[in-house]
Amino acid sequence: MKNHVLRPLWVAIAFIALAVLARYILVPKDFGVQGESFTYNFHRASNVQEWKDFPVKYLGKEVCVECHDENGEKLASSPHAVIQCENCHGPGLDHPETENPETMTIDRSRSLCMRCHTDLGYPPDSNRASIPAIAPNEHNVDSECVECHDSHNPDLEDM
Amino acid sequence: MTCSRRTLLKNAVKGAVAAALPVSAFKLLSPAQARAAVKESTVRWGFLVDTTKCVGCGMCVKACKIENEVPYDAPVTRTWVESHVECGRARSCSPAGVNPVPEGRPTTG
């Protein structure tokens, strides 16, 4: 075969060889099929430990009430019983251990309340329709909700 | 009443499956109980959400971003809440993933 025909072939072979070499150098040695299933176990083995070491930020209500039992009991008997503390108070990672335990950023914003309490005209069979709702553009527009409402016991009877 | 061979076989299989499932198979275990019952390495965790209880607050989306250290305002997402825009009868609107949260943030995270 003539040289000018073979020349692109050498280029292609060189390109493939380069790709194979690059893969050999760049891909970690423990990357591949771990176990039997190709579909779910194609990963880097050491990555499993990395994710086990990844800190969990949300602790859950059960941890909060160990110290804040007063607020926990108040919340448990209120219409907000289903809400997790950390939804408003922020994730509790390192909370009691840090030098200043007052560092949790509490979200008292109107927009947080509006996530559930905006009147969206849902049909009556929707769970959303059973939540007390306001029109955010009409109901005390310039005030934060927590100025009048108690988030730990939002029952309108107790206001 | 006629009963074809196909129907008979179908019902026989259904009956066998139903008989093989004792009520105790549906018992809910705590994570600790599950780990104790099976060797830990063989436990496969699943994640179930009762969507009929969802009111679209989007806190799961926010938590997902915080938990996985994903930038909150960046438009990158693996969690989203499918919701509908306000227009009288909310459910009749096109399900374009328009967000009920007033500030207009997409409920994705």
A48-99 per-position pLDDT tens digit: 999 999 988 898 898 899 989 999 999 999 989 989 999 999 888 888 776 5
- The A-side interface with B (CB below 8 A) comprises 56-58, 84, 86-87, 91, 111, 114-116, 118, 120-123, 126-128, 131, 136
Say if residues B31 and B39 touch (Cβ distance below 8 Å): no
A-chain CB neighbours of B63 within 8 Å are 58, 86, 91
Instruction: Quote the DSSP letter at residue B108.
Output: B
Model-level pTM? 0.64
Q: List pLDDT tens digits, range B2-25.
A: 778 888 889 888 888 887 776 666
- Using DSSP, how many helices (H) and how many strands (E) does chain A show? 6, 2
Structure tokens that stand for A37 in this block: 């299933």
How far are the Cα atoms of A29, A36, A78, A144, A153 from residue A149, in angstroms, in the given order? 58, 56, 13, 9, 8
Facing A57 at nearest CB: one of B59, B67, B86: B67
Q: Which residue of A has its CA nearest to B103?
A: A111
Residue B102: what pLDDT? 40
Facing A118 at nearest CB: one of B53, B89, B100: B100
φ, ψ (nearest 5 deg) of residue B24: -65, -15
Determine the distance in angstroms separating the CA of B101 from the nearest CA of chain A, rounded to an integer: 5
Average pLDDT, chain B: 70
What is the percent of chain A with per-residue pLDDT over 70, rounded to a whole number? 96
Type of residue found at A57: K
φ, ψ (nearest 5 deg) of residue B89: -95, 95
Residue B73: what pLDDT? 84
Angstrom distance (rounded) from CA A31 to CA A59: 32
Facing B102 at nearest CB: one of A86, A111, A131: A111
Does position B93 have pLDDT exceeding 60, yes or no? no
Contact A118 B101 (CB under 8 A): yes
Q: List pLDDT tens digits, range B40-55.
A: 666 677 888 787 778 8
Contact B66 A58 (CB under 8 A): yes
Mean pLDDT of A11-24: 96
The set of residues, in sequence order, having a beta carbon less than 8 Å from that of A147 and lying 6+ positions away, is none
A-chain CB neighbours of B100 within 8 Å are 118, 120
B-chain CB neighbours of A84 within 8 Å are 59
Determine the distance in angstroms separating the CA of B19 from the nearest CA of chain A, rounded to an integer: 31
Average pLDDT, chain A: 88
Could you say which residues from 33 to 52 on chain B have a Cβ atom under 8 Å away from some Cβ of chain A? 52
Facing A123 at nearest CB: one of B87, B90, B101: B90
Angstrom distance (rounded) from CA A72 to CA B98: 34
